[in-house]
Amino acid sequence: MTIYLINMAMLVGWAMLLMRHDISSRRGWFVSFATIQWIVLSGFRHITVGDDTAQYKALFLQSQTLPLGAFTDRFFEIVFTESEDPGYYLFQRLLQYVITDYQAYLVIVALIFMIPLGYFIYKYSSEPLISFLLFSVLFYEFFAITGLRQTIATALVVLIGYHFVRTRKLGWFLLVVFVAMTIHKSAFIFLPFYFLANKQLTKTYLITMFGVIIGLFLFRNTFFDLLVQVSGYDTYNALDGAGAVNFSLMLITVLLVALWRREDILAHNPAAIHFFNALLLAACFLPLTFINPSMMRLVQYFSLFLLLMIPEIVVTFARRERLIVYYSAVLLLGLLFIRDAPVYSFFW
């Protein structure tokens, strides 16, 4: 946990240092420092850090002994008919022509995710420090130290694909979604966001969406079976006692507060309409987590927009109130981080 605390303290320290000096491009410098820190933590972790790190090493070593044809034969047939993710294994095997060390591979995966994340925050967040602290508390355990396949898929479909959503380039967006699907099939769930991103928050629309959310919760088992059938991941089974209660309450609370202050948020940043629609979609998939916690994988594609929405809520407050909200948010995130931070060690 000590390493994580040092990382968090450094994030706050960089932000305070840059604020106290007349440095041009302070925002860019802070995001660069924060991104590098997370690349180091993610890429240089010990094999025992993260639930799947050791398992992915075994797959990495196993694939080195196989010919390239083993990953290219039946590629498209596997994508559309089976639960495997051939794009990931093909990517891994091609990379092994350049590197053979698993630790170097982890560094590359960290670069693939953290650099787009840094740009995502730099370009679209009103408060980069809060965004990085939110990532540290809510998402680092999965995207920084656990799932490699979905980490890469999310970098493609969300962090890069969002640029094509904003610029309304459907062809490029569909291409990114398809490539991401070959790496982790769950990436297809982000496809509706392109068509709903600019949906205005009319009374009828909001009532409809909350009705859908309630309906999906009531009929979550049917919804779950349908998605499992469509995705092809037949390993996802219903589990008794499942449910991401704390995360669900937090997301719904943020969404309701944002809707309460939506006029101020949209006046400050009209593009924040995308954040509202992303979180509404995230709420639609929350009921699935009460059947199987693995369904949080679907929610995460949309809930990453919490990194952008919460800063937008903060900046809607008047200056004096904003300082109180800002520092309270930083303190609360720090305390949550300390409470839940797991053990960490570097590979050496």
Six token digits for residue 184: 């982790």
Structural contact between residues 297 and 146, judged by C-beta atoms closer than 8 angstroms: no
Buried b / exposed e along 320-340 (16+ C-beta atoms within 10 A) = eeeeebbeebbeebbebbeee
What are the φ and ψ backbone dihedral angles of 346, each rounded to 5 degrees?
-75, 165
- The per-residue pLDDT string of the chain (348 residues; one tens digit each, 9 = 90 and over) reads 567 667 777 777 767 777 666 666 788 888 998 999 999 989 999 888 888 889 999 999 998 888 888 888 888 878 777 777 889 999 999 999 999 999 999 999 999 999 999 999 999 998 898 898 889 888 888 888 887 999 999 999 999 999 999 999 999 999 999 999 999 988 999 999 999 999 999 999 999 999 999 998 888 888 887 777 665 555 555 554 455 677 888 889 899 999 999 999 999 999 999 999 999 999 998 888 888 777 888 899 999 999 999 999 988 887 777 777 767 776 776 666 666 666 777 887
